[in-house]
Amino acid sequence: MRHRCVIPADGFYEWTGPKVQRQPFWIHPANGGLMLLPGIFESWYPEPNRPQITFTIVTCPANALIGSIHDRMPVVLDEGGAEDWMNPREPNPASLKRLLIPAPEGALEMRPASPLANSVRNDGPELLG
């Protein structure tokens, strides 16, 4: 009820293929803007006096575009949906389930990315291929 957040992102990766030869795909808004992804966060202490904040991105069944490589995808909110998700005075948080649907067709684009994206040690624009 109180630990909802929105994560802005310019895209996300998804992979297909066997583990020894995974093909990453870069999935991003068709309009080139940011996506607003609903999340849930938690603050906890892995060690005394050392707070840690972690979050998870809420997913849903994949739309047709993503469904060709994976069975689920992050929920993508529009601005009104993001405001609803963040509303701390929402009298019925269960009603927010209405927001947890796949992105509309045409809202996202997908293209192959560089295999460099297969390692978390790599970072930079060269990952996009």
Task: State the pTM of this model.
Answer: 0.89
20 CB neighbour count, 10 Å cutoff: 5
Q: Mean pLDDT per segment of 10 residues, for the chain of length 129 residues?
A: 92 91 95 96 92 96 96 97 94 93 96 92 89
Query: Which domain CATH number covers 73?
Result: 3.90.1680.10
Q: What is the pLDDT of residue 105?
A: 93
- Does residue 38 sit within a domain? yes
- Does residue 72 sit within a domain? yes
Q: Which residues contact 56 (CB under 8 A, 6 or more apart)?
A: 39, 40
Q: What is the pLDDT of residue 20?
A: 85
Q: What is the pLDDT of residue 129?
A: 77
Domain that holds residue 95: 4-104
- Does residue 126 sit within a domain? no
Q: What is the pLDDT of residue 111?
A: 95
Domains of the chain: total = 1
Q: What is the pLDDT of residue 21?
A: 87
- Does residue 125 sit within a domain? no
